[in-house]
Structures are given as structure tokens and as C-alpha cells.
Structure 1
């Protein structure tokens, strides 16, 4: 019986280790700084790789900033199109559903001119990635901490390995 349990645990470890890298990533824009003035989003984006299926999460103080999806011209001129509705929850989630260049700006005052804007290049989904989910409403502001799927998979794998070794 113990060898069956050990086999199942080892199989779980292999599945988690193979599936973990293929999971979509959540990118908290600005990391722990969030969406704010006096932050270099160009430099931040240069350290990341974005794929179809990933999510962008914009965290900011509600009513102080917003997030507007823009085209290249609106991004360069910091002038959003009048037909675009800004995201304003302070905890906005954007699903990256297609490859290519994507632009986001803050439409409050002169924030965009002062650097509160983000340009990224979204690559094709990593092989084995799940199909992206359709865009939905932003998560509630109460869900401040959302675990990264790869981190959770790593913890599960480490725990499973511990159980196998201790058996």
C-alpha cells in the first residue's frame, strides 16, 4: 500500500512540475509599487515577458488614477479616445487574449504625460498554456493578495517531495 501511495505522490509531483511552467502568469503592474506617479513602467516592462493567457493587474488608489486601453497614437500623445471607458476600480484585471503591442495610460490630469503609461508586447501563448479566459469584471478590491499559480505549484511540488522522502 505504501508503494502505491509513494507512486501516486511521485506522479503528482511530476504533473505539477510539468504543468507549473505552462500556467499563465499574473503581472502586477509596477510590482509592489502599483500604478502611480514617479515610477518607470518602461523599465519595469523590459524585465517581463508577456504571453497570451497572462493577466495584467493594475493596483492603485481608487479615484486617484485609472487605466485606459489605448492605441499607439493615444499612448504617444497621452490623449485617450473619447469612446474608451476607463477602468476605475483600483484593482483592475486585464486578460491578455491576443499577441501584439498593447498600450495603457492613466487618463487623470497630466498623469500620462508624467509617465503613468505602459507599453508591452504580448507574445503567443507558451506551448501547453491553457486557453485564455474571456475578459471579465475586475476583481474586488478586497482581494489584494492573489497567489501566483507558479508559486503555488512550486509549494505543492516541494510538499509532495517532502512526503515522498519522509515515507
Structure 2
């Protein structure tokens, strides 16, 4: 008796967990249903179907639900349906992974867009996390320093080969005037250093006259004695 209660408790827990994990997808909801006005392709792209989920088709009596192959889905062929369902409410359990195809069997409805392609996944895909931003990039914007412009290289001006060389001593200085030479006044020489004039003095003149007189006298005496 205790074993039966344990088994019943485990079954109840399994049912609760199964109902919590599984999801029911009402086709076309919330903006439509299984009819010609609903955009069923966009609705299917917005849903995630996993094994264990169920599809709920709610429709009026002039519609039905046919599960078909991929070829019949593309050509809207209704004669070779895998299953046919009617009555206004149809629940299709998604018990295996893969793609399944459903159309409405009423003439012209499939061609007008009343068809559904469902891709069932084996497990729920992990949520995609946004890439984490580094604190440096999120707190302060990157400022790119301006690239310095490369200055053009300027070659030094080469001096002409035949340019005359100017000595610093002989080169004129345009900024300063030439010095003016001033001659100092002449100073009369000292008596010691002045040479004696060649003009004879009065004593010399007397000596010459005396000598001449004596010579004349000697001549006269010689003539007298002769």
C-alpha cells in the first residue's frame, strides 16, 4: 500500500514537471488564428518549438487541418495527406524533433497562405548573452589622438663651390665705420740730437782769413827775396 502511494506521488510529480516544461502554441495567436487572414509564416518564425510542446489549431467549420509532406506543402496538394483533422479544435503533439507541415484542405485556402511549417527542436536552446563591455570602453569614450603630420624634410642649402673666401681681417664691416688716423704734431728735436749746420761760424771765418793772410805774406816775402 505504501509502495502504491509512492508510485502515485512520483507520477503526479512527473505530470506536474512535464506540464511545467511543455508549452502549448495556439496557432496564429494572439493576433489571429488558423484562417486566411493570419500571417502564419511570421508567427512560426517568432515561436520556439521543442519536443513535448503541442500545437493548438482553433478554426471555424469551413476549415480543417491536414498534415502533409514537404512536396505536398509546396504544391498545396491535399489528396495524399498524412492526417486529416476537423471539428473546429485540433491539438497536435510535437513528440519528435524535425520539420512538420500543415495546410488547410478547403479549396484555394492553402494557395492563399493558410499553411504552416513547424521546426521542432530536441531541447531548448541556451539564451544568447550579449557580449560584456569592458569598464574602460563603457565608462569613457575612446578619443583618438590626432596623428601628427610629418614635416617635410628640408635639405640645407649648399654653398656655391666657386664662392670667394673672405678673410675676417680683410672683409669690410658694413656696420662699423673705418677708423680715422690723426697725426700727432711734430716735436722739435733736442739740441743734443740735432746735427750741426754746415754753415761756417764766425770763428771759422776769422781762421780762414788769417790763414789766407799768412799765405799771402809768405808769397810776398818769397818774391822780395828773389
Distance 1:20 1:94, change over 3 A: closer
Distance 1:61 1:83, change over 3 A: closer
Distance 1:26 1:80, change over 3 A: same
Name the CA distance, whole Å, in 1 between partners of 2:77 and 2:124: 33
Match of 1:131 in 2: none
Name the CA distance, whole Å, in 2 between partners of 1:61 and 1:103: 20
TM-score (norm: length of structure 1): 0.60
Match of 1:124 in 2: 122
Name the CA distance, whole Å, in 2 between partners of 1:69 and 1:103: 6
TM-score (norm: length of structure 2): 0.45
Name the CA distance, whole Å, in 2 between partners of 1:85 and 1:50: 20
Distance 1:79 1:56, change over 3 A: same
Report runs of 4+ in structure 1 exceeding 6 Å deviation. Answer: none
Aligned length: 109
Does the alignment pair 1:50 with 2:87?
no
Match of 2:71 in 1: 73
Distance 1:100 1:84, change over 3 A: closer
Distance 1:36 1:26, change over 3 A: same
| 8 A contact 1:51–1:125 mirrored in 2 | yes
Match of 2:105 in 1: 107
Rg larger for: 2
Match of 1:87 in 2: 85
Structure 2 residues without counterparts, runs of 5 or longer? 1-12, 126-226
Which of 1 and 2 has higher RCO (CA within 8 Å, sep 6+)? Answer: 1
1:34-92 superposed Cα distances (whole Å, 9 cap, x missing partner): 10012211100000000110000000012x10000011001000002435441001110
CA RMSD of aligned residues (A): 2.3
More helix by share: 1
Distance 1:96 1:88, change over 3 A: same
Structure 1 residues without counterparts, runs of 5 or longer? 1-14, 128-167
Name the CA distance, whole Å, in 1 between partners of 2:96 and 2:18: 22
Distance 1:114 1:52, change over 3 A: same
